[in-house]
């Protein structure tokens, strides 16, 4: 009986579905179409959000594209090299909706005023000059058969769809004098070069730029993507390429990109920031290659410059120079007397422990000894502006360590460290690293040698005469000692190499650096500025006769320091 009822019920339900099959199928089709449309819309929104990020990543990851330039011409005559900046344009995803029996031209698929022709189940676009591509989305290189001698070929949207733009000084070589009429604006003085076609504009304050065309109001605010000024020069002095240059057609950012107008990009060569980078930038030509670089444009007053070391206007200039009273044999210092000294600390759950010193040389860079590095970056922090390690001080600036770079030739032999130097890259807080104050400043890097006998300074929180670590920053004077005397048999017996020097007093125990001061600076003064001449490295005991402190010779490593900082900056920008 129950089975009969079930069968009857099932039959009734089947007949009901059959009677409603038309409306049910319509409902199902509508629901499925709505679901696909919603999914497509969400995908488009996600793609739009990611487009700026992708543009910036493309620009940063692959920094340059090689251009082979034929003599007397600026035509593209080469291929994009493997591993260089991607030429794949950033496009939004297209969604195919389920209804296929409609006119394929009804959605107006052709861009840039292209005319759509119905091909049944497909379509084709008839593109106006200079556009090409399946949907007229590309701009043809109208410069392939054109020659612009001594200039750049630009793509235009009006006949003849190309234009030759002369290179600096933007004058034809047959001009009798490049300074007549005066090309310099705002009262600039035109100075002729030996090469007759070239000149330089000497600009009055506060104007700048190639033609003195940049005034004090031409600056960028904090949101530098809104910059719409007229600066067209990179920080390296190169003139920016026009955004409609034929060499940029395969780049994701050019005058013909989608919504170019909204980014301030057009048929000009003014600096812009469409991918929301640190500051306005542009493409430049360098050694037959296309690269990009930040522009020589300043932040408006009241705008913090990005990341930047520019806030440290002058190195090696303490505001406090008076010692308070009388490191090993050292005196307690006044806050701000050694504003470049850094405390390297190991992070623990209870409290952070000082283990080495360091010296601030740029806003994001601290120099220290290689032998100090025994922990990974994530376990370390750097304290700047410190005076008392046991107190939290209002002037201190604390940073995590983003990266550690130990010199590639660092080694220890018989307990003696060689090439004992390392760089710590600080992790920015709120977009910037160290900020210059009365208590935090940078020390200068020396580009010269100080003579033997020069009075220099050591500072740190290391062991004192009582064999206890000082919680107060101490300092002391030491004299530079000749390499010959330091390597004498009764001293260090030829252990020192060219990466080291010693300072202190050979004849009687006096002030000396000691454990805990490792990596801290030895600074010497020249014309009122303090230079980090050495880093505390090693020594036999502390303050012993004939055993002065040994220091890393910073001048030996200047090229290494600068190259590492520059390479890190390039990988970032």
**Which residues participate in catalysis according to the annotation?**
371, 420, 518
Q: Which alpha helices (DSSP H) does 155-227 contain, by range? A: none
The CA-based dihedral angle spanning residues 14, 15, 20, 25, taken in that order and rounded to the nearest 10 degrees: 40
Output the six-digit token pair for 12.
Answer: 């009734």
**Please, what is the Cα angle at 76 between 70 and 81, to 5 degrees?**
105
Element containing residue 425 per DSSP (H, E): strand 422-426
Regarding beta strands 341-346 and 331-332, do their DSSP bridges make them parallel or antiparallel, or are they unpaired? unpaired
Are 497 and 348 within 8 A, CB to CB?
no
Per DSSP (E only), the strands in 76-126 are 115-118, 123-126
Of 238, 239, 278, 275, nearest in space to 260 by CA? 275
**Please, what is the Cα angle at 335 between 333 and 341, to 5 degrees?**
80
| Helix/strand/coil for 32 | helix
Rounded Cα distance, 382 and 398, in Å: 6
Of 360, 357, 391, 380, nearest in space to 471 by CA? 391
Rounded Cα distance, 82 and 76, in Å: 17
Q: Which alpha helices (DSSP H) does 20-89 contain, by range? A: 21-61
Per DSSP (E only), the strands in 223-338 are 281-286, 289-294, 331-332
Output the six-digit token pair for 510.
Answer: 């006096």
- Tell me the CB-side half-sphere exposure of residue 181, using CA atoms within 13 A: 2
Output the six-digit token pair for 280.
Answer: 């306005």
DSSP string, 458-499: EEES-B-TTSSB-SB-EEEEEEEE-HHHHTSTTTTTT---TT
């Amino acid at each position: 009986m129950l089975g009969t009822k079930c069968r009857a019920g099932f039959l009734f339900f089947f007949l009901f579905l059959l009677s409603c099959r038309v409306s049910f199928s319509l409902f199902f089709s509508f629901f499925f179409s709505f679901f696909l449309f919603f999914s497509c819309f969400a995908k488009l929104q996600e793609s739009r959000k990611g487009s700026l990020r992708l543009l910036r990543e493309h620009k940063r990851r692959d920094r340059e594209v090689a251009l082979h330039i034929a003599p007397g011409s600026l035509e593209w005559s080469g291929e994009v090299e493997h591993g260089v900046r991607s030429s794949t344009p950033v496009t939004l995803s297209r969604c195919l909706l389920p209804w296929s029996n409609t006119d394929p031209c009804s959605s107006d698929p052709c861009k840039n005023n292209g005319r759509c022709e119905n091909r049944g189940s497909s379509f084709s676009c008839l593109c106006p000059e200079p556009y090409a591509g399946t949907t007229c989305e590309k701009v043809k290189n109208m410069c392939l058969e054109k020659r612009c001698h001594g200039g750049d070929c630009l793509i235009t949207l009006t006949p003849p769809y190309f234009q030759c733009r002369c290179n600096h000084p933007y004058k034809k070589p047959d001009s009798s004098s490049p300074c007549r009429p005066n090309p310099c604006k705002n009262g600039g003085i035109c100075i002729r070069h030996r090469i007759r076609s070239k000149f330089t504009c000497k600009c009055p304050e506060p104007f700048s730029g190639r033609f003195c065309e940049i005034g004090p109001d031409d600056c960028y605010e904090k949101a530098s993507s809104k910059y719409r000024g007229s600066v067209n020069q990179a920080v390296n002095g190169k003139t920016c390429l026009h955004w409609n240059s034929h060499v940029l057609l395969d780049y994701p950012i050019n005058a013909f990109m989608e919504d170019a107008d909204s980014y301030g990009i057009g048929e000009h060569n003014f600096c812009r920031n469409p991918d929301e980078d640190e500051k306005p930038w542009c493409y430049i030509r360098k050694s037959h290659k296309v690269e990009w670089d930040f522009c020589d444009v300043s932040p408006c007053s009241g705008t913090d410059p990005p990341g930047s070391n520019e806030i440290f206007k002058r190195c090696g200039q303490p505001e406090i120079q008076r010692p308070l009273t009388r490191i090993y044999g050292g005196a307690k210092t006044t806050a701000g007397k050694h504003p470049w000294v850094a405390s390297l600390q190991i992070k623990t759950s209870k409290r952070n422990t000082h283990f080495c010193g360091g010296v601030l040389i740029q806003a994001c860079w601290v120099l220290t000894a290689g032998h100090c590095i025994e922990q990974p970056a994530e376990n370390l922090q750097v304290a700047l502006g410190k005076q008392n390690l046991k107190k939290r001080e209002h002037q201190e600036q604390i940073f995590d360590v983003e990266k550690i770079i130990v010199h590639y030739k660092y080694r220890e032999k018989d307990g003696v460290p060689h090439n004992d130097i390392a760089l710590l890259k600080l992790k920015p807080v709120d977009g910037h690293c160290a900020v210059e104050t009365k208590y935090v400043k940078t020390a200068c890097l020396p580009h010269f040698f100080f003579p033997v006998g020069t009075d220099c300074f050591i500072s740190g929180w290391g062991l004192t005469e009582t064999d206890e670590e000082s919680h107060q920053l101490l300092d002391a004077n030491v004299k530079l000692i000749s390499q010959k005397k330091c390597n004498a048999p009764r001293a260090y017996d030829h252990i020192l190499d060219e990466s080291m020097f010693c300072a202190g007093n050979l004849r009687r125990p006096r002030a000396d650096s000691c454990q805990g001061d490792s990596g801290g600076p030895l600074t010497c003064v020249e014309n009122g500025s303090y230079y980090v001449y050495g880093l505390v490295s090693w020594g036999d005991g502390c303050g012993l006769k004939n055993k002065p402190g040994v220091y890393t010779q910073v001048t030996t490593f200047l090229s290494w320091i600068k190259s590492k900082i520059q390479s890190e900056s390039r990988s970032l920008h």
